[in-house]
Structure 1
Amino acid sequence: MESLRIGVLTSGGDAPGMNAAIRAVVRAGIFRGSTVFGIRRGFLGLMSGDVVPMDVGSVADIIYRGGTMLLTGRSDEFKSREGQQLAVNTLQDFGIEGLIVIGGDGSMRGCMELAKRGVRVLAIPGTIDNDVPFSELSIGFDTALNTICYAVDKIRDTAEALERTFVVEVMGRDTGFLALASGLAVGAESILLPEIPTDLDEVCLRLRRSRARSKRHSIVILAEGVGNAYDIASQITERTGFPMRIIILGHIQRGGTPTALDRNLASRLGAGAVDT
């Protein structure tokens, strides 16, 4: 098997399981005789030369940790030709022959630009949004889904006690994978997705029907890409008269200990990337 000088970085929004993927890349690479470098702060670090050697000890006890030990971020500079050339220069300076990038759809586009410049690059889908084309499941999605379910289960307790409807906004950027999966899992009365035009009249009808069945509380799951949660809740109140509360779960969805599914997925993808 070919021995290489391999670089690994995490880019874009963090996702639970990224550390497990980094660990797998480092351990699999070293086991196969390769030299592995960690690139800190994503493409920004790739441009600036923020590169550190990795060994088995540097990835000890990180499989269960959320976030990313290599740090992450976004860089507008990398979108320019000059920024991309800086990244290529760094790879050449450190003699890195293969690059593994863990991130979402924006990171995938960055990989494509590097590939056009002759870089040997491989991308691992890592985003809670689960919106990477041609991938069924991305690292972090399952953990975020479980975090949402845990939170909404608690929200439903107080919604029932106060006989109120809660609009719960979840992440996903301009896609509704998290909203759909979590809405089904928590038994939401309505799920609003960017992929399907929102019909508030239909939403209000469902809420009224729920009330007619003597269920005086409801949960509406809203994907962030649909629109402003406060505006949508206000419109529902105007049409139904139901008391509304808005919960924006925010960055709690990105943090926390990754689930077993995400740890295993990340480990398989990380080791597989080294073998590819």
Structure 2
Amino acid sequence: MLLFDRFNLGHGFRKYFEIHPATTDSLRDDVYRVRHEVYCEELRFEPVRPDRRETDEYDSHSLHCLLSTSTEPRKPVGCTRVVLAKANEPDYLLPFERTCAATLDRSIVDPARLPREQIAEVSRLAVRSAYRRRRGETVADAPIHDEDFGSTIQPRFPYIPIGLYLGAIALAARSGIETLFVLTEPRLASHFAKLGVDVRQIGGAVEHRGTRIPSMMDVQGIIKGMRFLLKPMWRTIQEEIEMAYEQSAGSDPKDKRAPDDPRK
């Protein structure tokens, strides 16, 4: 990493990547194909589909995010989504509510008691193998390791997974989401803590494509408490997402919710 990139992660991110809210059928198709490549063909978490598109019941009320290379020929790198709760169907659960029903500590938070229009879940984060593969990582969808942050002698930064999470946070903030839930690897919270991101465990571990822990994040708390080092990257991602929405057909920049928000 060049010295300037090290101290301006926004410049470093833009040099290699660009991020898009998947507001069109074409972009959503790219998302579903990345997911199929990772979840179905490589990791075998889901069955292979004839059309090579991995989709499920939650996609119809989710906000999708696609990360691509910034130089030609532009290639999809990874994706994630923000699953929105159904405000008018309180009994319709988010994915983690089903998976972690027996392990949630409701003395910390009871999702059923929160306004459904203000909660969502980050899920289906996937990075194509060409952009994450190193020894021992053949069965991880988007790993983050201690060495990804490098050292003072040889600094590095995990642009791809952090970029996708920041993209999800930007989508959530734009849609009025206050609390994001996520099933995380046990060590993920400590990695995010390095960036000033507070990921709070809200229950016991479950076996879901490996050991996962139900966690929650306060959207505005993350934005306000973000480390100085990370803020340029956050601003870059937020700007790219806002610009994409403004360029979308029928977009109203004054609308706090995205034009493709399923709740509208």
Which TM class, normalised by the smaller chain length?
Answer: under 0.3
Larger CA Rg, structure 1 vs 2: 1
Greater helix percent: which structure? 1
